[in-house]
Amino acid sequence: MKDCSRVDIRDMLPSYEHGRLSAVDRDAVAAHLANCPDCVTELSLVRSAARALAGAPAVDLARIVAALPVPPRRREEGAIPIDSRRARSRPPRTAWASSRRLTAIAAVAVGAAGLSFAVGRSAPDRPDSALVAGSVTPVVGTVRAPASPAAASGLSSAADPGGLIVASAADAELSVAGGVSDLSDDALRSLLGDIERIDDVTVADPAEPLPAVTDLDEEGGA
Amino acid sequence: MTGESPHGEDAIDAALIERWRGGDERAASELVARHAPALARFAWNLGAREDVDDLVQDTLVRAFGSLDAFRGDSSLRTWLFTIERRLLLDRRRSERRHRETVGVGDQDVATEYDALDDVVAAETERRLREAVARLTPTQREVFSLRVTEGLSYKEIADVVGSTEGAARVHYHNAMRAVKESLT
């Protein structure tokens, strides 16, 4: 078998066979084949080789598909939404003096380093710096709840039916971090009530921008 | 010459990949059906036998597990061939180490192809297979990809980790050797 001197045509014979040439190239090859028995022989050899080398056994497609990983979207959909997960895992309510609530109180009260409640309402004699220095990071996120009676001292929470309620250290020198044992019974009940209502609220994603601190005076807070 | 025309198959593959990413598992079945036979042929032509099924499965599982890494610079099939070739080479290295350990002799490539006589229909095809079996491994890869799959030299170069020019040289050397075997 001789090799045609047109290497460019011989280069294209397999692509011609597989229909992968542009129209221009396909026509050029076809025109050459009409006058070149050596290229006709080589094209025939390409076809025979393709048949000869196509003798692989059939593979089990169903088995392969079954072994494939789950699509990314399906993996994401498999995640349990936070709300429903929290709803399912919420323990039954027990007496407010339960150890769980006491633990929650301690967590709220003590907090981590640098945690503080945003002061939603400033007492007249409190400067703006009553916004506790360093951070305005609500430990418990935002809460919607009806007003609770103001405590004689210590913590109070202001009602804001339309917006945010932020546990505030209103008048007292006492900071939440100071000592839960300093709270009156009424203040303690109020705090526990707020904590219970917090369970109903989706915890904000820390990555999301924090809600603005509202001026409760303007909104007629308690 | 204007060269090879754009492959519409790439657009089909791209659409199926997007459907799969969106959660449509039927798209995976379609992709497997489109490419598994070619992967089986390639593996077979590179000498794989009993493990063709496993090799094709491993290739596709790996590919689907890292579809995020597939940028579409090459065709999907080229990318799959690249993965399969790497897997096959790893297996061969492992088998070679095992043979060296237990003292099993290397199999003659021509002997492997003798077993194909039962399946061969035509004498010419049998002789062709023998001729291909006597090619160097790289020539065999390049020749197989060029004649059975119609891959361009650029695509072949991507699969075997070579250059377009080298792929062209390997193909023509293989074709010359095959012609000489048949005369």
User: A167 by DSSP, 3-state: which?
Assistant: strand
**B 10-49 residues inside an 8 A Cβ radius of A:** 20-25, 28-29, 32-33, 36-37, 39-41, 43-45
Is the pLDDT reported for residue A191 higher than 90? Answer: no
Contact criterion met (CB < 8 Å) for A65 and B32 = yes
Q: Kindly state whether B1 is in contact with chain A, defined as any CB-CB distance less than 8 angstroms.
A: yes
What value does the mean pLDDT of chain B take? 83
Q: Kindly state whether A79 is in contact with chain B, defined as any CB-CB distance less than 8 angstroms.
A: no
> What does the pLDDT read at residue A128?
43
pLDDT, one tens digit per residue, over B144-172 is 999 999 999 999 999 999 999 999 999 99
As to burial, measured by CB atoms within 10 angstroms (0-12 exposed, 13-18 middle, 19+ buried), residue A53 is buried
Please tell me which residue of chain A has the smallest CA distance to B171. Answer: A11
Query: Could you say which of B37, B57, B179 has the minimum Cβ distance to residue A1?
Result: B179
- pTM exceeding the 0.90 threshold for the entire prediction: no
Is the pLDDT reported for residue B39 higher than 70? Answer: yes
Rg (CA), chain A: 38
What value does the mean pLDDT take over residues B124-139? 89
What value does the mean pLDDT take over residues A98-113? 57
Using CA atoms, how far apart are residues B164 and A95, in angstroms rounded to an integer?
Answer: 78
Task: Among A68, A73, A77, pick the best mutation site for testing chain B contact (most B Cβ within 10 A).
Answer: A68
pLDDT, one tens digit per residue, over A130-168 is 434 444 444 444 434 444 444 444 444 444 444 434 344
> What does the pLDDT read at residue A2?
81
Contact criterion met (CB < 8 Å) for B175 and A42 = yes
**A 42-71 residues inside an 8 A Cβ radius of B:** 42, 45-46, 48-61, 63-65, 67-71
Return left, alpha or beta for B82; rule: phi > 0 is left, psi -120 to 50 is alpha, else beta. Answer: alpha
> What does the pLDDT read at residue B161?
92
What value does the mean pLDDT take over residues A57-72? 90
The answer to whether B157 and B166 have CB atoms below 8 angstroms apart is yes
The answer to whether A48 and B148 have CB atoms below 8 angstroms apart is no
What value does the mean pLDDT take over residues A26-53? 93
What value does the mean pLDDT take over residues B53-79? 90
Query: Could you say which of A50, A56, A58 has the minimum Cβ distance to residue B147?
Result: A50
How many CB atoms sit inside 10 A of residue A97's CB?
A: 10
> What does the pLDDT read at residue B51?
87
Helix axes A7-17, B164-182, angle to 10 degrees: 90
State the pLDDT confidence band at B175, using cuts at 50, 70 and 90: very high
Contact criterion met (CB < 8 Å) for B32 and A64 = yes
State the pLDDT confidence band at A18, using cuts at 50, 70 and 90: very high
User: Could you give the percent of chain A with pLDDT greater than 70?
Assistant: 39
> What does the pLDDT read at residue B146?
95
> What does the pLDDT read at residue A104?
59
Please tell me which residue of chain A has the smallest CA distance to B126. Answer: A52
State the pLDDT confidence band at A52, using cuts at 50, 70 and 90: confident
